[in-house]
């Protein structure tokens, strides 16, 4: 069974890092895209990791990318936080590529 590619928007923030920690070894999801603010783009996730607990070296070594709609269109699911003030998790999915049972 192939894993569902997922983008994490704001991968260096508290919510983004929590998503990564939960999904990095998940059997159903693959961390495909990690985005960050412009000042962190080009850096490695491990340089900004603040959570306790292990970060998979392959995931930590990934280059952070700029948030771009075309980049997100490559993944059927994107997870992130609405803003640093609200810290409410959000999820976006492309219904043409995936569906979730109710």
Strand, helix or coil at 30? strand
What does the pLDDT read at residue 81? 72
What does the pLDDT read at residue 80? 83
65: confidence class by pLDDT, cuts 50, 70, 90: very high
**Higher model confidence: residue 88 or residue 34?**
34
The Cα 65–Cα 92 span in angstroms is 18
Strand, helix or coil at 90? strand
Instruction: Answer yes or no: pTM beyond 0.85.
Output: no
**Which range, of 12-16, 62-66, 97-101, averages the lowest pLDDT?**
97-101
Domains of the chain: residue spans and CATH:
4-93 (3.40.50.720)
**Higher model confidence: residue 97 or residue 18?**
18
Whether residue 87 is predicted with pLDDT greater than 60 in this model: the reply is no
Closest by CA to 68, choosing from 33, 39, 20, is: 33
What does the pLDDT read at residue 86? 46
**Higher model confidence: residue 64 or residue 101?**
64
Strand, helix or coil at 78? strand
Whether residue 11 is predicted with pLDDT greater than 60 in this model: the reply is yes
Whether residue 76 is predicted with pLDDT greater than 60 in this model: the reply is yes
């Amino acid at each position: 069974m192939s894993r569902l590619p997922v983008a994490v928007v704001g991968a260096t923030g508290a919510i983004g890092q929590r998503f990564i920690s939960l999904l990095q070894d998940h059997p159903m999801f693959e961390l495909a895209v990690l985005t960050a603010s412009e000042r962190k783009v080009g850096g490695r996730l491990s340089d900004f990791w603040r959570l306790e607990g292990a970060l998979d070296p392959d995931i930590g070594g990934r280059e952070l990318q700029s948030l771009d709609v075309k980049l997100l269109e490559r993944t059927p699911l994107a997870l992130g936080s609405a803003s640093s003030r609200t810290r409410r998790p959000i999820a976006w999915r492309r219904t043409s590529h995936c569906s979730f049972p109710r």
